[in-house]
Amino acid sequence: MISRLLPVILFVLLGVLLAAGLKIADHKTEIPSPLIGKSVPEFSLPLLGQDDVLITQNDLLGKPYLLNVWASWCVTCRVEHPYIDELARSGKVRVIGLNYRDETTDALGWLQRFGNPYELNIADLSGRTAIDFGVYAAPESFLVDAKGTIVFKQIGAVTPEVIENEILPRLQEMGK
């Protein structure tokens, strides 16, 4: 009797295993960042459109900020743009842009067309600094505390849910 049932049991177990695998695979394209809990990597990059003004990671210390990696060629960046704009307007956190692998004129045109929520925009035209941040797609956003430690990374669009459930609670935690 048991030997008859054994294949059925094995089949069911295999099914459960594969179903669990599919469930995990849903989130598989998001790679957990090893940079969470670490300091923002060192960089020295010009402001977008102002090549003579260099910004380093130390210039951003003092208050928490959201570093938003965007580009004019990035379609999803346009999707999240209104939410980034709203977050910046709310005054709850500074939003700093990291313009990634873009053309300066395209980037400036994009800001003019869709609005500029950024306190300042850092130009990483070569994408070299983005590698230090572990960026592999745009948009990506890093929530950084006042001391320059990365506390959260969003891969893909910042949505109202992400702001509500991930960003605002962490900001509140920092405020304490």
Instruction: Give Cβ neighbours of residue 138 (< 8 Å, ≥ 6 apart).
Output: 69, 70, 71, 74, 76, 77, 100
In angstroms, rounded to a whole number, what is the distance separating the alpha carbons of residues 4 and 70? 59
Quick check: 11 binds another protein (CB under 8 A)? no
Please answer whether residues 32 and 140 qualify as being in contact, where contact means their C-beta atoms are separated by less than 8 angstroms. no
x/- map, 137-176, another protein, by CB under 8 A:
x---------------------------------------
Q: Look-up: residue for tokens 């990059």?
A: 45
Identity at 104, one-letter amino acid code = T
Q: Does 127 bind another protein (CB under 8 A)?
A: yes
Q: Is 136 in the site for another protein (CB under 8 A)?
A: yes
Compose the 71-110 pattern: x for residues touching another protein by CB under 8 A, - for all others: ------------------------------x---------
Residues that bind another protein (CB under 8 A): 28-29, 31-35, 101, 126-128, 131-134, 136-137
